[in-house]
Amino acid sequence: MNDVAITALLIGALFLILGSGVWIGLTLSGVAWIGMQLFSSRPAGDAMAVTIWGSSSSWTLTALPLFIWMGEILFRTRLSNDMFRGLAPWVQALPGRLLHTNVVGCAIFAAVSGSSAATCATIGKMTLPELQRRGYPDDISVGSLAGAGTLGLLIPPSIIMIVYGVSADVSIAQLFMAGVLPGIMLAALFSGYLVLWALLNPGRVPPADPPMGLLQKLHESRHLIPVMALIAAVLGSIYAGIATATEAAGVGVLGSLLLSAAQGSMDWKTFRDSLMGGTRLYCMIAMILAGASFLTLAMGYIGLPRHLAEWIGTLGLSPFGLIMVLMVFYVVLGCFLDGISMVVLTMGVILPTVQKAGIDLLWFGIFIVLVVEMAQITPPVGFNLFVLQGMTKREIGWIAKVTLPFFFLMAIGVALIWFFPQIVTVLPTQMKR
């Protein structure tokens, strides 16, 4: 069989097994086993055992469950609710007013969560009822939350960055630093759009609250101190070179436990629920990673990555053309798979092609995160759309429609980091010094 036939067979097997309801991790392992059994001379069982054990015992991956647990703790305690009270007074003067709490709140929570869905759900529980009560339109409230919720993947610490770093053998600490400025840039694009929307639709923005003096604003801002201190502890320890990403994750978990206990919102039930929630989510991710590692090995034995790289090389695409093709590819793939599956399933095939085109793998990691963010709000399998559907009880088509402007803003973000790569590389370069 030629490469096209083998690829078609494996893709067909992938969607057939997925369609039958089998878990994604087991599906990836099954497709890999089929590929090795039919098109490779190495025993599939032996390769599966060695690869899955190797991927599951990676020390670098230890940061992942810790960051997930930290996000679960914040999700279930009073720390997240205090953010809205601290942010609201400072955005009253901006066109769009309290709509900006979606963007700023998601940006802040993203810096201690690492999960897009957790960021969207946590901030949404705080802001959507309050915005609705004050008379803000549902379409812009929900749309801005869906878009800003994706910042959970870009602003470090990020679960997707850890997965990419392990898959591509790129420094996770440098990836974290590389994501800071693009995350701020994307948040600024979102807030800029809200300002423009408010200026074009002045009649749809409710009147401002009674003005507060500077001392009153500062007094309300005290609610932000615990979360900002946690962000400083996690990211500051990495940036200063004091801790690795894994050690910083431990700092984050310890800090979130201490802060929630000090505020009186940590009890045995909350602790148990946060631990079990984090464990369930990590087990799902670990199974996907293990299956994807075996699939990557199988594709390597079959030779598909090399042949695909050679085929794309014959197309004569420029690096920019390759990036545009990959952006469309990942957005389409996001219609069927979640972000982590997209990354681990494709890295073995895509990375040789990217390296051959001379594209920096650190920059490419941020690009991947951005396009996975776009996929998070692409129907029918956009995770943020599902989260908001559960919260608002609206149809997913309506949610996708009101989120569309933020999808295009992310596309603008991809163009900006392409034409100005220093947005990605300047902080990691300083970190090396």
Q: Report the chain (433 residues): mean pLDDT per 10 consecutive residues.
A: 73 79 80 84 81 75 78 74 73 82 83 72 75 87 90 82 87 89 94 93 79 76 80 79 81 88 85 87 77 77 67 76 87 71 77 85 93 80 72 82 92 94 89 61
For residues 333 and 346, is the Cβ–Cβ distance under 8 A?
A: yes
pLDDT at 32: 85
Is the entire prediction scored with pTM above 0.85?
no
pLDDT at 81: 67
Amino acid sitting at position 89: P
pLDDT at 2: 67
d(C-alpha 149, C-alpha 151), whole Å: 5
pLDDT at 36: 85
pLDDT at 127: 78
- Between the alpha carbon of residue 205 and those of residues 92, 137, 385, the distances in Å are 11, 8, 24
d(C-alpha 368, C-alpha 374), whole Å: 10
d(C-alpha 208, C-alpha 52), whole Å: 56
pLDDT at 337: 65
When divided into structural domains, the chain yields a total of 1
> Taking the CB of residue 44, how many other CB atoms lie within 10 A of it?
19
Q: Give DSSP secondary structure letters for 23-92.
A: -HHHHHHHHHHHHHHHH-SS-HHHHHHHHHHHHHT-SGGGHHHHHHHHHHHHHHSHHHHHHHHHHGGGST
d(C-alpha 224, C-alpha 111), whole Å: 13
- Between the alpha carbon of residue 262 and those of residues 83, 152, 191, the distances in Å are 16, 26, 33
Domain that holds residue 334: 3-432
Amino acid sitting at position 1: M
What is the DSSP-derived secondary structure letter of residue 95? T
Peptide bond into 380 cis (omega under 30): yes
Output Rg (C-alpha) for the chain, integer angstroms. 22
